[in-house]
Amino acid sequence: MTELAVQEAHAAWSAGELAIVDCREQDEHDATRIEGVPLIPMSEFLARVDELPGDRPLAIICRSGSRSAQVADYLTATGEHGEVANVEGGIIAWAAGGLPYEGEPPR
């Protein structure tokens, strides 16, 4: 599994070179979110794996990088999505890095 720093993930995502999927739960997403990043909660991931974008490299983000690392590891191991990256530090690091988000500051 690849670890992407938030600045690197944001740059690739903004350029259309990377798809990012949020694996937090709905209530977390409702409080704080990145506009344009789809939500597939970890609790629903296996049932919704077909919704993952397949047209470019994929990275997973969560609150702090722990759950997204588990999801990225799983997806990489299945081999159907190539090398899936984890956004290091999650949305907490994203916000701390001054990158755009909506809602409350993540905690």
Which are the catalytic amino acids? Answer: 62
Q: Which residues of 25-39 are buried (b: 16+ CB within 10 A; e: fewer)?
A: beebbeebbbeebeb
Q: Which residue has the tokens 């905690």?
A: 107
Q: Measured at the alpha carbon of residue 89, what is the angle toward residues 95 and 85, in degrees to the nearest 5? A: 115
